[in-house]
């Protein structure tokens, strides 16, 4: 078991190394921060001095090794665009906003998707099932930015219930969280439904029925309790899509999280910040995967030998 964990860990490290190489290569292929940050009329002397100042005149492999060496010590460089901060500081400043929004959107999607899935399973094959499916799919069928803009117009401008955008308290988060959650509802509802179907067929549900437990209790308590674990495992996967979804939603709602940050960083060719965002999320993703693999291995010894 220990050997399996060690090998698997090494593999994850190699994957991470490959990711740093890809990110480094890709960001440097996109052009120079000098072109993004210097004005039109920058003189040749100013361009050259800045290129030297940022060490961009050194050979690419040397820059990569220097970057890697520093990264190992936890130093991802200073931001070129948000001057006065390190890349990590810039990312960490923005991370809580993304996590807050992501957390609320997950919560919202649970609140909507689990009842939908349960009702669909309970009324399997009827019109109720089909309608629940269509409702769940609706949210997943609109471009997210468009849904966001519609929500702003209806609920912020038209009805005035929520602020249009920006950071602040809970009211600020509702609309972007809905726009984000709408995307997760369908998958979550489908998972809940199939887990509930299994659960409703199980022996102890039959037993409970025989005992005369009321149907609503059987469905919402006994069966759901056992079915809930399946959709919960889905959250590991959500973590990865958090950033991708937030790029668009954060732009529409001017929500200053890592999604908005990463677009601005790419436009500004702020290599260190782009690298920091991608590497941070990659580390989180690989870590989750590693933990999941380790847990599976714990449960199922055959995997260890594979």
Minimum CB distance to other proteins smaller for 63 or for 194: 194
DSSP-based three-state secondary structure for 82? coil
CB of 66 to other proteins, least distance (A): 18
CB of 76 to other proteins, least distance (A): 16
Minimum CB distance to other proteins smaller for 206 or for 267: 267
Minimum CB distance to other proteins smaller for 122 or for 151: 151
Nearest to 99 by CA among 294, 296, 273, 256: 256
Minimum CB distance to other proteins smaller for 122 or for 172: 172
CB of 247 to other proteins, least distance (A): 5
Give the other-Cβ count within 10 Å of 58's Cβ.
14
Please state the three-class secondary structure of 197-249 as a single string.
HHHHHCHHHHHHHHHCCCHHHHHHHHHHHHHCHHHHHHHHHHHHHHHHHHHHH
CB of 103 to other proteins, least distance (A): 6
CA 31 – CA 20 distance, rounded (Å): 18
CB of 237 to other proteins, least distance (A): 6
Minimum CB distance to other proteins smaller for 47 or for 213: 47
Contacts for 295-299: CB closer than 8 Å, 24+ residues apart: 297/1, 297/4, 297/5, 297/8, 298/1
CA 237 – CA 245 distance, rounded (Å): 13
Minimum CB distance to other proteins smaller for 66 or for 229: 229
CB of 29 to other proteins, least distance (A): 4
Cβ pair 37, 80 in contact under 8 A: yes
DSSP category for residue 154: I
């Amino acid at each position: 078991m220990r050997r399996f964990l060690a090998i698997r860990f090494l593999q994850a490290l190699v994957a991470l190394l490959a990711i740093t190489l890809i990110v480094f290569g890709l960001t440097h292929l996109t052009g120079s921060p000098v072109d993004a940050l210097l004005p039109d009329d920058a003189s040749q002397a100013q361009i050259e001095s800045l290129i030297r100042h940022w060490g961009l005149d050194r050979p690419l492999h040397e820059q990569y090794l220097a970057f890697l060496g520093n990264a190992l010590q936890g130093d991802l460089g200073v931001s070129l665009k948000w001057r006065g901060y390190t890349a990590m500081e810039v990312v960490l400043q923005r991370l809580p906003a993304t996590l807050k929004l992501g957390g609320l959107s997950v919560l919202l999607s649970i609140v909507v998707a689990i009842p939908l899935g349960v009702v669909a399973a309970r009324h399997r094959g009827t019109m109720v099932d089909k309608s629940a499916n269509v409702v769940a799919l609706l949210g997943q069928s609109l471009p997210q930015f468009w849904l966001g803009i519609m929500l702003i117009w209806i609920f912020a401008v038209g009805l005035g219930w929520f602020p249009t955008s920006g950071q602040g308290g809970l009211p600020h988060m509702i609309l972007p969280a809905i726009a984000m959650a709408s995307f997760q509802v369908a998958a979550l509802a489908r998972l809940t439904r199939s887990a509930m179907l299994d659960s409703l067929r199980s022996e102890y549900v039959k037993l409970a029925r025989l005992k005369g437990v009321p149907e609503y209790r059987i469905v919402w308590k006994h069966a759901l309790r056992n079915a809930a674990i399946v959709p919960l495992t889905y959250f590991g996967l959500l973590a990865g899509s958090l950033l991708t979804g937030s790029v668009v939603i954060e732009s529409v709602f001017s929500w200053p999280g890592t999604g908005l940050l990463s677009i601005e960083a790419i436009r500004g060719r702020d290599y260190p910040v782009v690298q920091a965002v991608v590497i941070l999320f990659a580390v989180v993703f690989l870590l989750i995967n590693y933990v999941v693999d380790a847990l599976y291995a714990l449960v199922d010894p055959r995997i260890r030998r594979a």
